[in-house]
Amino acid sequence: MRIQLALFASLSQYLPEADNGNRLSAHAQLIDLPDGSTVGQVIAALGLPDEPRIVFVNNRHAPESHVLQEGERLAVFPPVAGG
Amino acid sequence: MPVPHQHPTPLTEEYRNLRAQLGFKRVGIVGCGGLGSNAAWMLVRSGIGTLVLADHDLVEESNLHRQFFFRDQVGMPKTEALSINLTRIDPAVNLELFHEHVDEQNFATIFSEIDLFIEAVDTARDKAMLVAVCSEQLPGVPIISASGLAGYGSANDIITRHLMGDLWMIGDLVSEVSEEHPLFASRVCVAAGHEAHMAIRILLGYPEA
C-alpha cells in the first residue's frame, strides 16, 4: 500500500530516506506501508516526538486509530505555543 | 471656519458591497488574548457582522503589553472586557460571549452556524485540540490557526500558508514562546493581522493565501 506522507515544520527531518521518484516536495513524499497500518503505527515507526500535533488524513482530522487506505494523504503538523 | 470632516477617499459602491457581505458573516474565535483580542478589533473594523468569542480567563495586568485591554479592566472576564471595547468601535456589531473553557464537549454548541473559525489560544496542546475538534465537528468550516510568533525575529517571517484542506496556518512555524522568546505586541499583532486578513479574504471568496 502506498500513501502520501507530509511532515511540516520541525517534523520534516523525520521524513524517511527516499529516492527522487518518491519525493513530492521538501516536506512530502510517497511511502509504502503494510496493509492495515494505522496513523498511530506510522507515527510511532517514524519516531515523531511525543508532542502536540495536528493530524489530517485527506484534508480532515483523523484519530491515530484511523486505518490508512491506498492513496490517502497523511499530514502531520506540530503547533508551537504562543498567542 | 472649520471644514466638515470628509473621508480622504470616498467609500465606493464596491467597498460598501464588500462590507455588506461581511456584515452577514459569523466568525468564531477561541482565545481573547494577544491573537484573539487584536484579530477581533480588526474584524469589527472590517465590518464582520457577528463574532462568537470564547475565553475562560480574566484580564491580568501582565496582559496589557500586548492584548486589547486597559488597566481599569484588570479582573474582568476577557470576553466581557473585549465586548465593551469592540462595542465602542461599532455599537452595531453582534457579539456572542462564552466565558468558559472550550473543548470537544461544548465546541459544536457554542460555534454552530459559524462561517469561519479562528484558533487564538496559547498552548500547543489546545491549538492541536481545537483544530481537530473543529475539523471533526464542523466539517467544511475554514480554520485559521497560528503557530510561531514569539520573540523578536523578523516580522517578515510570519506568513499565511494554506496548509491543507480547510486549514490555514499563520506564523513562522517554529518560534515558540519561552523565557528567551517572549511575546512582543508588534510580532503578535502581525500574526493577528494575518489571521484577520485571511478570514476576510476567505469570507469574500478569495481562499488563496
pLDDT lower than 70: segments of chain A: none
Those residues whose C-beta lies under 8 Å from the C-beta of residue B78, and which sit 6 or more positions away, are B32, B33, B37, B55, B57, B58, B59, B63, B67, B69, B99
Quickly state the pLDDT bin for B6 (edges 50, 70, 90). Answer: low
Q: Above 60 in pLDDT, residue B3? A: no
Give the model's pLDDT for residue B135: 97
Number of structural domains in chain A: 1
Q: State the average pLDDT over residues B105-129.
A: 98
The mean pLDDT value for B59-83 works out to 98
For B128, which of A58, A59, A79 is closest by C-beta distance? A79
Question: Could you tell me which chain A residue has the CA closest to the CA of B150?
Answer: A82
Chain B contacts in chain A segment 13-72 (CB below 8 A): 51-56, 58-61
Q: What is the mean pLDDT of chain B?
A: 95
Say yes or no: B94 contacts chain A, CB-CB below 8 A.
no
For residue B17, the distance in angstroms to the closest alpha carbon of chain A comes to: 32
Let me know if residue A7 belongs to a domain: yes
CA dihedral over B18, B20, B26, B27, signed as positive or negative:
positive
Q: Domain total for chain B?
A: 1
pLDDT tens, residue by residue, B22-38 = 999 999 999 999 999 99
Q: How confident is the model at residue B130 (pLDDT cuts 50, 70, 90)?
A: very high
Contact (CB, 8 A) for A4 and A30: yes
Task: Please give the ipTM for the structure prediction.
Answer: 0.94
* Angle between the N-to-C axes of helices B34-46 and B185-203, in degrees from 0 to 180, rounded to the nearest 10: 40
Residue B41 has pLDDT above 70, yes or no: yes
Q: The domain containing residue A50 runs over which residues?
A: 2-77
Cell numbers for A22:
518518491
Nearest chain A Cα distance for residue B111, angstroms: 18
pLDDT value, residue B124:
98
State the pLDDT at residue A21.
Answer: 75
* pLDDT at residue B1, rounded to an integer: 54
Domain boundaries, position B149: 23-203
Distance CA B42, CA B51 (A): 11
Contacts B36 to A, Cβ<8 Å: 83
At B8 the pLDDT is 61
Q: Output the CA torsion sign for B130, B133, B137, B141.
A: positive
pLDDT higher than 60, residue B2 = no
Instruction: Kindly identify which residue of chain A lies nearest to residue B138, measuring between CA atoms.
Output: A60
> Does some domain include residue B2?
no
Percent of residues, chain B, with pLDDT higher than 90 = 94
pLDDT of residue B201: 98
Give the mean pLDDT of B88-99: 98
B7: pLDDT confidence band, cut at 50, 70 and 90?
low
Q: Is residue A17 part of a domain?
A: yes
Closest Cα in chain A to B190: A83
Query: What is the structure's pLDDT at A38?
Result: 98
| Position A82 in a domain | no
Q: What is the pLDDT of residue B118?
A: 98
- Alpha-carbon distance of B141 to B151, in angstroms, equals 31
- Give the CATH number for residue A6: 3.10.20.30
Q: Is residue B3 part of a domain?
A: no
Chain A: residue whose CA lies nearest to B177: A82
Quote the pTM value. Answer: 0.94
Model confidence pLDDT, tens digit, residues B133-176: 999 999 999 999 999 999 999 999 999 999 999 999 999 999 99
CATH number at residue B38: 3.40.50.720
Q: Given an 8 Å threshold on Cβ–Cβ distance, is B127 in contact with A54?
A: yes
pLDDT over 80 at B109, yes or no: yes
Q: Does the residue A83 lie in any domain?
A: no
More confident residue, B138 or B2: B138
